[in-house]
Amino acid sequence: SSSPRTANPFKSPSSPRIAPPLPLTLKQTLAPPLPLALKQTLKPTFKQTTHTRTTHSHTRPGSLLVLSGDPSSAFTSLANDVVRAGHTYSDLLVSKPLPVKSVTSGLIYGVGDVLAQLPPWRESTKGKSLDGKRLRNFMALGVGVGFIWALYYDWLEAQIGYLELPEGALRLSVEVACTQLLWTPLFFFFYTLPVNAYLNGKRDSEIIETVKEAWGPLVISNWKVWPFADLVIFNLPVQWRVLTANIFDIIWATIESDQVTDIK
């Protein structure tokens, strides 16, 4: 017989026992896997390709959205091609920075010279032919510009890092002032003007006269365009600075081409 202390007067001897609930981890273990076809059906209609983007002194993850949809859609196909091209260019900027920046700069300088020679907004240039020699020389000049400026941006970034200037107005002011007041006038004096004059067949004495005549107006024209552009450029990762400068160069190369190549 059961003891009065342990007997349950409210429980029938024949009442069934209620099983306790399974732990959550055990439920997940015993849950059957989804069929493969159902998994594929539940997949989202877009995918995301992850890559790594290098900034000033560290690496952070980035992503490019690759569109998916009807393969026959011309817009979707073009958008995917543009995204892939951008991804490829970004990778090349990291793996082969100097050749990519140099070639890009040369192409941009070519566009600028074409616009300078045959501006579509001027009626007087209609019917005129393009000066191919001038175009080739200015593109060659642009290749060197891209190469040297890429080295300069890397050097300036190293100096700013050495000074340990924090991100902000002070750092930006130092970068713009160093570029516009020191580097750019020297670059025009020792590279842009003499090299372009040499490529166009001028002799030593003519090269010196060209530099004397064109240097001052070119520096002043530069200050009308590039201080604002530098505010944008120096807020970007260092590997993207030459490309961004090249975008502004479409305008600047048109101005520079006229001033540099039209000196008699």
Closest C-alpha among 205, 215, 223 to residue 259: 215
Q: Which residues contact 243 (CB under 8 A, 6 or more apart)?
A: 89, 93, 101, 104
pLDDT for residue 212 is more than 80:
yes
pLDDT for residue 52 is more than 50:
no
pLDDT score for 49 = 45
Q: What does pTM read for this prediction?
A: 0.63
pLDDT of 57 higher than 90: no
Average per-residue pLDDT in the chain? 76
Q: What mean pLDDT comes out for the span 22-41?
A: 54
* pLDDT for 211: 93
Listed range (20-34, 104-118, 154-168) with the worst mean pLDDT: 20-34
* pLDDT for position 83: 84
Confidence category of residue 112, pLDDT binned at 50, 70, 90: confident
